[in-house]
Amino acid sequence: MKAPPFRYHAPRTLDEALALAATLPSPRLLAGGQSLMPMLNFRLLAPEHLIDLNRVEGLAGIRDEGDAIVIGAMTRQRDIEFSPVVKARLPLLAEAIQWVGHRQTRNRGTIGGSLCHLDPSAEQPLVAMAMDATLAIAGPAGRRELPMQAFAVDLMTPALEEGEILTGIRFTPWAAGHGWAFLEFARRHGDFAIVAVAVLLELGADGTATRVSITLGGVASTAVRVVQAEAALLGTRVGPADIEAAAACCGQVDALGDPQVPAWYRQRVARTLCARALPAALARAHAAGHDGMKR
């Protein structure tokens, strides 16, 4: 099918984009287009105006601010995938980004586009949730920041008001030597996850877990932190029984079901993946600790 008629706008500055978004009737923002374009081609959407953010200056780029890595909303997934900064400071994101679609879609798709589309199975919102990322938003009423928890309101529903534009995502790296793991189950490589799990882990000098993040994607209407699972591990030495307890919590998260993939299945796979991700994260944390001692 062919897209319905619309008028295309290509603002060069954020102010221009905000002005268009505030004044045009029924506008739609176009980022990488890897979700919006299929919806247009299927005529599921019929916006009168399309505001293309691809030419807006200053919205793309990865900036190391020391205590934080700030990724512009229009940064392409490919550039995240191949970024040395991301690889060094945000290894969870570097791993997860490789599960996003395919090379050909990552070359266009943007992190901001994915966060605003907010598919419950998408990897980038999952990482943003796992890392408590902060989202920078510009709008007619000025600029504001929102934690990912508050941004992800519900199924495919970001906390954006009319005329607002997501401009960047601030990730605070975990301590050097933290453990991490990202596992995903999909029917085929590159498909949206049926379940994905992101794990972050910091160990104290005595080997006990001092900080834990366990987040599931694909299970609920948005990515969810499994706080019970995190609690089950905090302060433990992350032994097999602790891992089993945390995994059991992941298997009890309220899950979405549909005729193809029922809720019980998502819960089961969440449990399986958690039980596999935690040892992987732990091994990385131990390996880093080991290296640290050698240094």
Partner 1 sequence: MSQHASMREITLHVNGEARTCTVADRSNLADFLRHDLQLTGTHVGCEHGVCGACTVLVDGRSVRGCLMLAVQADGCSVETVESLAAGTQGAAGLGPLQQAFRDRHALQCGYCTPGILMSLTELLRDDPAPDEQAVRLVLSGHLCRCTGYQNIVAAALQAASKPAGDA
Partner 2 sequence: MDTIVPSGQVVEPATAASADDYTARRMFGTRAPRIEDPALLRGEGRYLDDIRMPDPLHAAFLRSPHAHARVVRIDLAAARALPGVVAVFDADAIARELTSLRMPLGFPSATLQKDITPWVLSCTEVAFVGEAMVMVVAQSRAIAEDALALIEVDFEPLPVVHDCHQALDDAAPVVRSDAASNIAERLQVGFGEVDAAFAAAPHVFTESLFVHRGAAHPMEGRGVLARYDAVEDAITIWTSTQMAHEVMHSIAAMLGMDQHNVRVVAPDVGGGFGCKYLTYPEEVAIPAVARCLGRPVKWVEDRAEHFVSAIHERDQYWDVDIAVDARGTILGVRGRLLHDQGAYTPQGINLPYNAATSVTGPYRVPAYRMDVIICQTNKTPVIPVRGAGYPQAAFVMERMLDRVARELAIDRAELRARNLIPVEKMPYDKGLTNRAGVRSIVDSGDYARTQAEALARIDYAGFPARQREARARGRYLGLGLANAVKATSRGPFESAVIRVSPQGRIDLYTGALAMGQGLATALAQIAAEQLDVPLDMIHVTCGDTGRVSLGMGGFASRQTVMAGSSVHLAAVEVRNKALRVGEQLLGVPLEGLRLRDGRVEVVSAPGRFVTIGDIARKLKGAPGYSLPPGITPGLEATGLFQTNSQAHANACHACEVEVDPGTGAVRLLRYVAVHDSGRLVNPTMAEGQIHGGVVHGIGNALFEKMGYDDEAQPVTGTFADYLLPTSTEVPDIEVVFIETASPTNPIGVKGIGEAGTIPVAPAIVSAIENALSPWNVHLAEAPVSPVRLLELIDASAAA
Which residues of this protein are in contact with partner 1, per CB under 8 A? Answer: 1-8, 10, 30, 33-34, 37-38, 40-42, 46, 48, 50, 52, 54, 78, 101-105, 107-108, 188-190
Judged by CB under 8 A, the residue of 16, 52, 132, 191 near partner 2 is 191
Q: Which of 92, 114, 90 is nearest to 36 (CA)?
A: 114
Between 87 and 286, CB nearer to partner 1:
87
Residue 98 CA to residue 186 CA, distance in Å, equals: 13
Q: Using DSSP, how many helices (H) and how many strands (E) does the chain show? A: 12, 14
Q: In the chain, which residue ranges form alpha helices assigned H by DSSP?
A: 14-23, 36-41, 77-81, 84-89, 91-97, 103-106, 111-117, 123-130, 148-151, 227-233, 240-250, 263-294
Which residues fall within 8 angstroms of residue 191, CB to CB, at 6 or more apart? none
- The partner in contact with residue 143, picked from partner 1, partner 2, none with C-beta cut-offs of 5 to 8 angstroms by kind, is none
Rounded to a whole number of angstroms, the minimum distance from the CB of residue 101 to partner 2 is 10
The least distance separating partner 2 from the CB of residue 96, rounded to whole angstroms, comes to: 17
Nearer to partner 1, 10 or 245 (CB): 10
260 binds, among partner 2, partner 1, none (CB under 5 to 8 A by kind): partner 2
Long-range contacts of 149-154 (CB under 8 A, 24+ apart): 149/225, 151/115, 152/118, 152/125, 152/222, 152/223, 153/222, 154/221, 154/222
CB nearer to partner 1: pick between 109 and 218: 109
Structure tokens at 96: 């997860």
The yes or no reply on residue 188 touching partner 2 (CB under 8 A) is: yes
- The site partner of 286 among partner 1, partner 2, none (C-beta below 5 to 8 Å per kind) is none
Binds 193: which of partner 2, partner 1, none (CB < 5-8 Å by kind):
none
Chosen residue from 265, 279, 280, 286 binding partner 2 by CB under 8 A = 265
Query: What CA–CA distance (Å, rounded) separates 106 from 57?
Result: 20
x-marked contacts with partner 2 along 129-168 as a string, rule CB under 8 A: ----------------------------------------
Q: Interhelix angle for 240-250 vs 263-294, to 10°? A: 140
| In the complex, least distance from residue 145 CB atom to partner 2, rounded to whole angstroms | 33
Please, which residues have CB within 8 angstroms of residue 257's CB and are 6 or more apart in sequence?
263, 264, 265, 266
Lookup: tokens for 233: 């591990």
Name the nearest CA neighbour of 48 among 23, 71, 62, 28: 28
Structure-block tokens of residue 189: 């490589």
235 near partner 2 (CB under 8 A): no
Nearer of residues 240 and 262 to partner 2, judged by Cβ: 262
Work out how close the CB of 188 gets to partner 2 at its nearest, in angstroms, rounded to a whole number.
Answer: 5
Smallest gap from residue 7 Cβ to partner 1 (A): 4
Q: Which residues bind partner 2 (CB under 8 A)?
A: 1-5, 38, 42-43, 185, 187-192, 259-262, 265, 268-269, 272-273, 275-276
